[in-house]
Amino acid sequence: MVRLCVTAEGPTLDDLVEEDFGHARYLLIVDPETWEVEVHDNPKERTDIGHGIMTAENVARLGPDAVLTGYAGEHGRRKMESLGIRMIMDEEGTVRDAVEGYIRRHMSVERK
């Protein structure tokens, strides 16, 4: 079973992918085979810096195989890399769009 974490502006599959990883309001865990969704708030301390690292730590607690997001700064990317979680950036549109794109690009290849 693959677990995807999608940074999102809202709590549903039809909400937009968050453009900024560190400032994501929601972290949606999606099973791309069943489309089951777990909705998690992305709590962050009220600071001007460190949001990427805090978000990466929040994501890691959810145990995804990969993260789909719009953009992540260097600190967030490095933290995800150090945790062994694949990060896929430049996602646009809705959470559903991002997951469907992941399925087309990655899962058909993995199943062969």
Instruction: Quick: pLDDT tens for 1-27.
Output: 899 999 999 999 999 999 999 999 999
Predicted model pTM: 0.90
26: containing domain: 4-111
User: Given the structure tokens 């607690």, which residue do they identify?
Assistant: 61
* DSSP per residue, 2-40: --EEEEESSSSTTSBBPSBGGG-SEEEEE-TTT--EEEE
Domain count, the chain: 1
Give the pLDDT of residue 111.
Answer: 46
Quickly state the pLDDT bin for 56 (edges 50, 70, 90).
Answer: very high
Q: Report the alpha-carbon distance of residue 71 to residue 45 in Å, rounded.
A: 20
CATH code, 68? 3.30.420.130
Give the pLDDT of residue 112.
Answer: 40
Quickly state the pLDDT bin for 43 (edges 50, 70, 90).
Answer: confident
Q: Which amino acid is at 58?
A: N
